[in-house]
Amino acid sequence: MFRQCVAVALLATAVSACGSITRGTSELIAFNSEPPGAAVQTSKNRFCPSTPCSLDIPRSEEFDATFTLPGYRPKTVPVRTKLVGTGAAGFAGNVLAGGVIGMGVDAYNGAAFDHFPNPVNVTMVPDALPSAERIRGPRRGRPGV
C-alpha cells in the first residue's frame, strides 16, 4: 500500500506542470527590421548582432528590445507576456493532472504564457531627411513647385 501511495505521489508531481512539459519554459522570438542589419539589445542583456535574428527567451521574461542601425534612429519595442491559446489549455490541464501545485509551477516559470509581439518587427527611421525635403517638405503633386 505504501508503494502505491508513493507511486501516485510521484506521478502527480511529474505531471503537475503540464504547460512546462508540453510547451517548455522558453520561447523563440524573432526580430526583424526594415532595412535589415540592425543590432538588437534587450533590457535583460540579450543581444542579436544583426536582424533578422532570433533569441530563445524564458516565457516569464518581459523586456524592451532596442534596435540600432548606423544612420537611423534607435527604436525600442516593449515585449510583454500574456496567457493565450495552448498556454491556457496546459494551465487548465493542471486541474486534472496536478492541481494547484502544477498551476503554481506553470505560472511561476511562465510555461502558460506567450510573448507579444512575436515576431518583433520595426521600420527604422533615418537620422535626418535629405536637406531638400527638410527645407521645402515633400512635393504634393503640383507641377513646377
Where is 8: in which H helix or E strand? helix 2-14
* pLDDT tens digits, one per residue of 4-30: 544 444 444 444 444 444 567 889 999
* pLDDT tens digits, one per residue of 77-122: 999 998 865 444 444 454 444 444 444 444 555 567 888 999 999 9
What pTM was estimated for this model as a whole? 0.62
* pLDDT tens digits, one per residue of 37-77: 999 999 999 999 999 999 999 988 999 999 999 999 999 99
How are strands ordered across the β-sheet holding 53-58?
Answer: 53-58, 26-34, 120-123
* Sign of the torsion angle spanned by Cα atoms 101, 7, 89, 81: positive
